[in-house]
Structure 1
Amino acid sequence: MAERRLILLALALAGVSALFILWNLRAPMGFILSLRLVKLASLCIVGAAIGTATVLFQTVAANRLLTPGIVGFDALFVFIQTMLVLTLGAAGFATLPVLAQFGLETLVLVVAALALFGALLRKGSDDILRLVLTGVILGVLLRGLAGLAQRLLDPSEFAIVQQASFATFGAVDRAQLAIAAAVLALSVVAALRLARLLDVAALGRGTALSLGLDFDRVIFAALGVVALLVAVSMALVGPITFLGLLAASLAHAILPTWRHALLLPGAALIGAIILVSGQFVFERLLGLQSTLTVIVEFLGGLLFLFLVLRRSRS
């Protein structure tokens, strides 16, 4: 049953992708197709990366309410953008090579995440709650520092920071896209290789250790994949906090299975479907350009509140 539903999800993604590319296609067809294919690829890559990362993180944290953004990834990204504009100025930031900026942001995000994971879990992976709480506190601190630095910017520089702090799929560089696609492919392969081990790890530390699983190694490996996926997707288009919660929750609902070999690709497909179909509706049907991420965040926030309230009543 779950395998059939996974195939249906793949067909659904293929269908909405075809609609996104071919709907109201006019001359010059070659130029328009190239633009749409780049945007489609960025939507699929980011959706798949965030969906996969969220399922991994929820398994590590043993909590389906959490997303990788809870440990401060989005706050760190905004802080990086603010400091770059504050240091380089509007002109310097605008002339910064796109690959250099992409590489710098990815490197800082990955190093910061691995440093946080390593520092807090160096004595073992049984203190995930401390990791999450520390990430929340660091996120609040970084948002405060970014807000303080933004007060030092002039209006034009502040506008640049605001624009860079929200996810946008309209100006993705093709070289960045190729790097992100390669990283996503390698990360998904690594995640699928961990799938059976994660099935055991999801039973809990004590049970997993009694079954002979090297629990700490599996948790560290999963967190490394999470850091890489989130860093690359965020450096590519910007932060989307609640997309992962939507994708992971729908994956668990549509694919009622504990097998990560199905949940991981399911969440990846659903994340891509959400972004592609949402962008198709707002861009092709409604003629809007910048409302997709706002709607995704709004729906994700409502889902988060629903899950919290439902759990508090049970």
Structure 2
Amino acid sequence: MPSENRSEWLGGGAKPLWAAFALLVVCCVLFLTLNVRGDWQFVLTLRLTKLAALLLAAYAVSVSTVLFQTLTNNPILTPSILGFDSLYIFLQTLMVFALGGIGYTALPPLGKFGFEVLMMLGGSLLLFYTLMKQGGRDLTRMILIGVVFGIFFRSISALLQRMIDPEEFIAAQANMFASFNTLNTDLVGIGLAVAALSAVALARERHRLDVLLLGRSQAVNLGIAYSRLSLRLLLWVAVLVAVSTAVVGPVSFFGLLTAALANYFSPTVRHAVRLPTAFCIGGILLIGGQTLFEHLLGMQGVLSAVVEFAGGFVFLYLIFRKKR
């Protein structure tokens, strides 16, 4: 790394990132140590597992949203616009409809997670290659088709939910809404492995991601293989969305909130700074919020509802600001 780039990274360009990282560390320490009574080893083991799940969810949601916004060159879009969340809900409903409540709960977590990831990856590949085959190289058409597929999956899910026995439907209903209190800790290990692989892959693509911000035409003129890079990014988005939904459930506006805050506080558009800043902000919101609700407010509120409300408010703000 040249000396001027190194000084910029360690200096003003990364000061908000270091501040966010320090605040994230403080939130993690408070989450682990606040109101600990009894056996420290037992409490820390439980809290460390939950902390890892929260960090994993923060990484997957925030990074996938920033990647999708880079790919679409639009700061108000999220991966849920392509119907990934609707596909996840449809898969849960379909498995309960086909296997019943007992069969659904008996599914091995890793096998269920692998099936969900493969289905989301398959949907991404089908959507992308269909557009490429028909000559539709613009992402606008992909987004519109994703919206249509999202409506389709929601409609089919609603139909199947009316056909399922209510007692059996309860088995899947808990997985259809975001919850930061009851996390699926069985998938933390494989989720962290996927997150580590994505971090390595995206670190190698960080300069190409910066070029994508110039637009498709400029990226192609600068030697970027746009179609292949878009496909790789879309696949990583699908994998990270699958990880986050498997751990905490589908979320719509949390990623938008973290990406908007990262864009606001980050002094540079470089993804080497924006991606870790978004992750740190997401971790601060989840871990700090969960610490507040669990250890200070006595679970007198639901973090997911507050986060989604704040994200929806930010979404409306960005729309009205863009109109002005």
Alpha-carbon spacing, 1:23–1:156, altered in 2? closer, same or farther (3 Å)? same
Report the Cα distance in structure 2 between the residues aligned to 1:201 and 1:3, rounded to whole angstroms. 21
Report the Cα distance in structure 2 between the residues aligned to 1:221 and 1:233, rounded to whole angstroms. 18
Whether 1:30 and 2:20 are equivalent positions in the alignment is no
Whether the aligned pair in 2 keeps the contact of 1:125 and 1:219 (CA below 8 Å) is no
Match of 1:143 among 154, 166, 171: 154
Whether the aligned pair in 1 keeps the contact of 2:184 and 2:248 (CA below 8 Å) is no
Whether the aligned pair in 2 keeps the contact of 1:191 and 1:225 (CA below 8 Å) is no
Cα deviation for residue 157 of structure 1 reads 2.2
Secondary structure of the corresponding residue to residue 75 of structure 2: coil
Match of 2:305 among 294, 300, 305: 294
Report the Cα distance in structure 1 between the residues aligned to 2:222 and 2:303, rounded to whole angstroms. 45
Paired letter, 1:15: V
Scaled by the length of structure 1, what TM-score is found?
A: 0.94
Structure 1 partner of 2:138: 127
Report the Cα distance in structure 2 between the residues aligned to 1:127 and 1:8, rounded to whole angstroms. 38
Structure 2 partner of 1:117: 128
Q: What stretches of structure 2 of length at least 5 have no aligned partner?
A: 1-11
Which range moved further: 55-64 or 211-220? Answer: 211-220
Report the Cα distance in structure 2 between the residues aligned to 1:177 and 1:302, rounded to whole angstroms. 30
Cα deviation for residue 119 of structure 1 reads 2.1
Alpha-carbon spacing, 1:171–1:100, altered in 2? closer, same or farther (3 Å)? farther
Report the Cα distance in structure 1 between the residues aligned to 2:278 and 2:317, rounded to whole angstroms. 20
Cα deviation for residue 258 of structure 1 reads 1.4
Structure 1 partner of 2:203: 192
The one-character-per-residue Cα deviations of 1:166-199 (angstroms, maximum 9, x if unpaired) are: 1234454555111000100110111121110111
Whether the aligned pair in 2 keeps the contact of 1:42 and 1:169 (CA below 8 Å) is no
The one-character-per-residue Cα deviations of 1:288-310 (angstroms, maximum 9, x if unpaired) are: 17711111111111111111111
Structure 2 partner of 1:312: 323
Match of 2:114 among 100, 103, 112: 103
Match of 1:206 among 205, 217, 228: 217
Paired letter, 2:275: L
Percent identity over paired residues: 44
Cα deviation for residue 90 of structure 1 reads 1.4
Paired letter, 1:226: V
Q: What does 1:272-287 correspond to in 2, within 5 Å?
A: 272-287=283-298
Paired letter, 2:25: A
Number of residues paired by the alignment? 313
Match of 2:70 among 32, 38, 59: 59
Report the Cα distance in structure 2 between the residues aligned to 1:184 and 1:122, rounded to whole angstroms. 31
Report the Cα distance in structure 2 between the residues aligned to 1:275 and 1:125, rounded to whole angstroms. 38
Match of 1:215 among 215, 218, 226: 226
Paired letter, 1:44: L
Paired letter, 1:60: L
Paired letter, 1:120: L
The one-character-per-residue Cα deviations of 1:109-143 (angstroms, maximum 9, x if unpaired) are: 22222222232245678410011111111101100
Displaced runs of 4 or more, over 6 A: none
Whether the aligned pair in 1 keeps the contact of 2:95 and 2:104 (CA below 8 Å) is yes
Scaled by the length of structure 2, what TM-score is found?
A: 0.92
Whether the aligned pair in 1 keeps the contact of 2:28 and 2:287 (CA below 8 Å) is yes
Q: What stretches of structure 1 of length at least 5 have no aligned partner?
A: none
The one-character-per-residue Cα deviations of 1:222-252 (angstroms, maximum 9, x if unpaired) are: 2121111111221222111111101111111
Report the Cα distance in structure 1 between the residues aligned to 2:183 and 2:320, rounded to whole angstroms. 38
Match of 2:50 among 27, 39, 43: 39
Whether the aligned pair in 1 keeps the contact of 2:88 and 2:116 (CA below 8 Å) is yes
Whether 1:256 and 2:267 are equivalent positions in the alignment is yes
Alpha-carbon spacing, 1:243–1:173, altered in 2? closer, same or farther (3 Å)? closer
Match of 1:177 among 185, 188, 209: 188
Paired letter, 1:235: A
Secondary structure of the corresponding residue to residue 163 of structure 2: coil
Report the Cα distance in structure 2 between the residues aligned to 1:119 and 1:56, rounded to whole angstroms. 21
Secondary structure of the corresponding residue to residue 167 of structure 1: coil
Alpha-carbon spacing, 1:176–1:43, altered in 2? closer, same or farther (3 Å)? same
Report the Cα distance in structure 2 between the residues aligned to 1:297 and 1:175, rounded to whole angstroms. 25
Paired letter, 1:243: F
Cα deviation for residue 212 of structure 1 reads 2.2
Cα deviation for residue 57 of structure 1 reads 0.5
Match of 2:171 among 160, 163, 187: 160
Report the Cα distance in structure 2 between the residues aligned to 1:108 and 1:51, rounded to whole angstroms. 22
Whether 1:227 and 2:266 are equivalent positions in the alignment is no
Whether the aligned pair in 1 keeps the contact of 2:198 and 2:236 (CA below 8 Å) is yes
Report the Cα distance in structure 2 between the residues aligned to 1:289 and 1:111, rounded to whole angstroms. 40
Alpha-carbon spacing, 1:161–1:62, altered in 2? closer, same or farther (3 Å)? same
Whether the aligned pair in 1 keeps the contact of 2:101 and 2:169 (CA below 8 Å) is no
